[in-house]
Amino acid sequence: MLNAPQILVRCIALAVCTAALAACGQRGPLYLPTDPAAQGRASLTDTVLPNTPAPGTTPPPAPAR
Protein backbone atom coordinates (compact mmCIF):
# COMPACT_ATOMS: atom_id res chain seq x y z
CA MET A 1 0.00 0.00 0.00
CA LEU A 2 1.25 3.47 -0.84
CA ASN A 3 1.83 6.00 1.89
CA ALA A 4 1.52 9.79 1.63
CA PRO A 5 5.17 10.61 0.65
CA GLN A 6 5.12 8.04 -2.18
CA ILE A 7 1.88 9.44 -3.55
CA LEU A 8 3.22 13.00 -3.34
CA VAL A 9 6.47 12.10 -5.12
CA ARG A 10 4.60 10.28 -7.88
CA CYS A 11 2.21 13.20 -8.40
CA ILE A 12 5.10 15.67 -8.60
CA ALA A 13 6.99 13.41 -11.03
CA LEU A 14 3.88 13.08 -13.21
CA ALA A 15 3.38 16.86 -13.21
CA VAL A 16 7.03 17.49 -14.14
CA CYS A 17 6.91 14.93 -16.98
CA THR A 18 3.64 16.39 -18.28
CA ALA A 19 5.05 19.93 -18.24
CA ALA A 20 8.25 18.81 -19.99
CA LEU A 21 6.33 17.02 -22.75
CA ALA A 22 3.95 19.93 -23.22
CA ALA A 23 6.80 22.44 -23.45
CA CYS A 24 8.88 20.70 -26.10
CA GLY A 25 8.43 20.99 -29.84
CA GLN A 26 7.64 23.68 -32.35
CA ARG A 27 4.24 25.31 -32.34
CA GLY A 28 2.36 25.62 -35.59
CA PRO A 29 2.67 23.65 -38.81
CA LEU A 30 5.91 21.96 -39.76
CA TYR A 31 7.66 23.21 -42.89
CA LEU A 32 10.92 22.80 -44.78
CA PRO A 33 12.82 26.10 -44.95
CA THR A 34 13.68 27.17 -48.47
CA ASP A 35 15.52 30.44 -47.81
CA PRO A 36 19.21 30.69 -48.82
CA ALA A 37 20.38 30.64 -45.19
CA ALA A 38 18.92 27.14 -44.79
CA GLN A 39 20.99 25.65 -47.61
CA GLY A 40 24.07 25.06 -45.45
CA ARG A 41 22.26 23.50 -42.50
CA ALA A 42 22.56 19.81 -41.72
CA SER A 43 19.55 17.65 -42.49
CA LEU A 44 18.33 14.69 -40.46
CA THR A 45 20.15 12.33 -42.81
CA ASP A 46 23.40 14.28 -42.35
CA THR A 47 23.00 14.07 -38.60
CA VAL A 48 22.13 10.37 -38.38
CA LEU A 49 24.42 9.12 -41.17
CA PRO A 50 27.22 11.73 -41.41
CA ASN A 51 29.36 9.91 -44.00
CA THR A 52 26.60 9.31 -46.56
CA PRO A 53 26.57 11.50 -49.68
CA ALA A 54 23.51 13.63 -50.23
CA PRO A 55 21.00 12.36 -52.81
CA GLY A 56 21.82 13.60 -56.30
CA THR A 57 25.54 14.09 -55.62
CA THR A 58 28.42 11.91 -56.64
CA PRO A 59 30.37 10.30 -53.82
CA PRO A 60 33.97 11.41 -53.32
CA PRO A 61 36.61 9.18 -54.87
CA ALA A 62 38.04 6.42 -52.72
CA PRO A 63 41.48 7.17 -51.26
CA ALA A 64 44.40 5.68 -53.14
CA ARG A 65 46.21 2.78 -51.49
Q: Which of 36, 54, 57 is nearest to 46 (CA)?
A: 54
**In the predicted model, what is the mean pLDDT of residues 21-47?**
75
Residue 57: alpha-carbon gap to chain centroid: 25
Q: Is the pLDDT of residue 13 over 90?
A: yes
Q: What is the pLDDT of residues 28-39, one digit of tens each?
A: 777 777 788 777
Q: What pLDDT, on the 0 to 100 scale, is given for residue 55?
A: 67
